[in-house]
Amino acid sequence: MSELNGKAVIAARDLYKIYRMGDVEVRALDGLTLRIEPGEFVAIMGASGSGKSTLMNILGCLDRPTSGQYVLNGEDVSTLSRNQLAGVRNRYIGFVFQGFNLLSRTSAIENVELPLIYSDTTTKERHKLARESLERVGLADRMDHYPSQLSGGQQQRVAIARALVNQPKLLLADEPTGNLDTKTSLEIIELFHSLNREGMTIVLITHEPDIGEHALRRITLRDGRIVHEEKTS
Ligand code: ADP
Ligand code: MG
């Protein structure tokens, strides 16, 4: 397995995810192999139903493949239990979703502190880390605002700050611009670029070619397989 492990953040080989619906078998992932190095900014693209979310769920340790191997940050997570996977997620991965998923009666800074509640940080440390995270996404002046007092783009920035507060190795974003207008979407992509320049590994999942084209490597799925791959040189 040495060729798969090395220093890769993601080394997945021969992933299958098969759903059985009565007599029908759906191969949501059909023998997919993927390697992502530290510091990459990769878009995973493809039409609806091509397997993007299935792949994201497996890469994010939210689900397990039917078969195949997944090594995350040097650790084989293919056969871990659900509890063990939760631990891996907390240590390594920050998630960003289309719907922001912020708590509405909770200020921006409190939303960002949430992932730290179960860690052994003090209240003061949590506050400091959350503040730094909000500064990183350009929201230093909105920390005490509630989600309803923020624009969609600002809410997504809070969600990104929350994803970063645990200092993950990998940022996984599933259709993060799906609820945003074009201009705001490009601002979020620019934020990803600046985080990527600081060294963050980013995997961006999108069905919109206009968004995906901004990543430095682009992978296209169809029927659970990689059918195209290109890199910005
Ligand atoms: P995408 O995110 O690219 O739209 P998905 O990963 O959601 O694609 O779905 C890939 C394929 O797997 C689709 O054909 C979808 O209908 C099927 N699929 C996804 N999740 C399930 C499930 N829980 N049960 C049965 N089929 C599923
Ligand atoms: Mg999807």
Task: Report pLDDT digits (tens) over 87-113.
Answer: 999 889 999 999 999 999 999 999 999
* Selected residue with higher pLDDT from 102 and 5: 102
Distance 48 CA to ligand 2 centre (A): 6
Give, in order, the Cα–Cα distances in Å from 130 to each of 115, 126, 127, 135. Answer: 10, 6, 5, 9
Atom 7 of ligand 1, nearest CA residue: 53
Whose Cα sits closest to atom 10 in ligand 1?
A: 51
d(CA 208, CA 222): 14
Q: Using the predicted structure, report yes or no on whether residue 1 has a pLDDT greater than 90.
A: no
pLDDT of the residue at 38: 97
pLDDT computed for residue 6 by the predictor: 61
Specify the ligand 1 atom closest to the Cα of 55. Answer: 6
Q: Which atom of ligand 1 is nearest to the CA of 207?
A: 3
- pTM: predicted TM-score of the whole model, two decimal places: 0.93
The pLDDT value given to residue 91: 87
| Per-residue pLDDT reduced to its tens digit, 34-91 | 999 999 999 999 999 999 999 999 999 999 999 999 999 999 999 899 999 999 998 8
Q: Which atom of ligand 1 is nearest to the CA of 17?
A: 12
Ligand lying closest to the C-alpha of residue 47? 1
Average pLDDT over residues 194-220: 96
Minimal-distance CA residue to ligand 1 atom 23: 19
d(CA 106, CA 24): 45
Q: Is there an atom of ligand 1 within 6 Å of 56 CB?
A: no
For residue 105, give the DSSP letter.
T
Q: What is the pLDDT of residue 79?
A: 87
Residue nearest to atom 11 of ligand 1 (CA): 28
Does the structure show a pLDDT above 70 at 231? yes
Cα–Cα dist 75/187, whole Å? 34
- For ligand 1, the distance from its centroid to the CA atom of residue 18, given in whole angstroms, is 10
